Structure 1
Amino acid sequence: MNNKIINETTDKTSDETTDKTSDETTDKTSDEAGDKSIKESKDQYTCTICMKEDLNKDEIYYTNCGHEFCKPCLDDWFKRGNQSCPLCRSEIKYYKHNDEKYKLIIHKVENDERGQERVNQLHHINLNDLINRNLAVRNIVKANIRLRFYGFSMTFLLFYMINNYLYELQNINDLNNELKICNINNTHLQDSLNTCESNNHYLSIGYYVSMFNGELSRRCFYPLKFYNICFNK
């Protein structure tokens, strides 16, 4: 800035030479200012954001305006979307660390919900247009719908068959239990029948006895059981 002011007060004969030199020096002004301030820094380094003192040289980063900060504070400053120096508020174009220059590139991401909704709507519209205009895509979408329908149908059929299988399995178990009960009852009936047959066989053995009631005489068969009762045998 001082060079431009001096040039305006000089004679017209020196305008041509000063214009050439001013154009060559303007591009180097910011770099020279940053380098000059870095060279004039103290041996002890302090972060002007967190105020941490006695930092090593490897822990210090310099902006193009010549101010020094520690790396964590500078990264946090950039993450908040700031592009200016925390001290002088000048635009940060680059920063230096160990004589290496790093150019600052910040990408802005729109987090507006309305903007996101507009993007989603545009994507939905573009997708519908793509489906309607492209025959191959439309066929793929139809095939996908059919596959989903078949998948849902097969799933429903599978659950239906599993339900019927469990129902029939329960019926089989109930029938087996009833069969066991019938077999037990049949065993009891068979035992009772055997008892009756043994009793009938016992009653078929006996004696013929002649009986007279004063008028008639008959020859009658007495089973052995009653015969023994009658004669106390």
Structure 2
Amino acid sequence: MTTIALRDLTKRFGATTAVDRLTLDVRAGAVTGLLGPNAAGKTTTLRMLLGLIRPDGGTATVGGVRYDRLPRPATLVGAALDGSQAHPGRTGRDHLRVLAAAAGVPDSRCDELLDLVELSSAADKRVGGYSLGMRQRLALAVALLGDPEIVILDEPTNGLDPAGIRWLRDLLRGMADRGRTVLISSHQLSEIVRTVDDVVVMAAGRLLIHRPLAELTRDAPDGTAPAAALEDTYLRLTGTVAR
């Protein structure tokens, strides 16, 4: 099973250190929540992991290999960092087909994924007319094109209604149960707590905690619900209230 490893990962933008010597292992067969307030360094960390920006120090690998050195990255790592990247004049189906061709994935996979993310009825509509939630579903379909072993999602619940959030939760849990590595970043705890196995909290670019959610709950006072235990830990570490 494929895991993610970060070792002393560092990124600076001018005088600002966005990620500060981050060392972390993300295990397979689990959903890991990368949490923290805005400007915590979550998205910068994911972008370095995916080779979109170059770190100033340290390494980020998947299965022991840097992303830019993977021979067929779409079959190992699927990511959705921004649900608005599809061309607004292209249909959802055509958007998937273009990316599928680039990844060496057959067109039939596109229709399978449109069905999976519940966009079949909107597949021939232009993406410019999609709601934010629909664009999030399309971005997830893109991430899953190569049937990857690792799935990385940045703020995946943005724009989803309560039914969509439940659907996403069930989908991610099913992936982890089949041995996939799932890493999701968020600054919201209300739904994350129902999805994740492991909790990573960052603030100001630094790792504050990395523990199983079950341990946080176990160490909390008797009768404390998982959501309250995570909220208390988050507030204590970051000094902010999650929304």
TM-score, structure 2 normalization:
0.18
Whose strand fraction is larger, Structure 1's or Structure 2's? 2
Flag the structure with more relative contact order, 1 or 2, with Cα contacts below 8 A and sequence separation at least 6. Answer: 2
Q: Which has the greater radius of gyration?
A: 1
Whose helix fraction is larger, Structure 1's or Structure 2's? 1
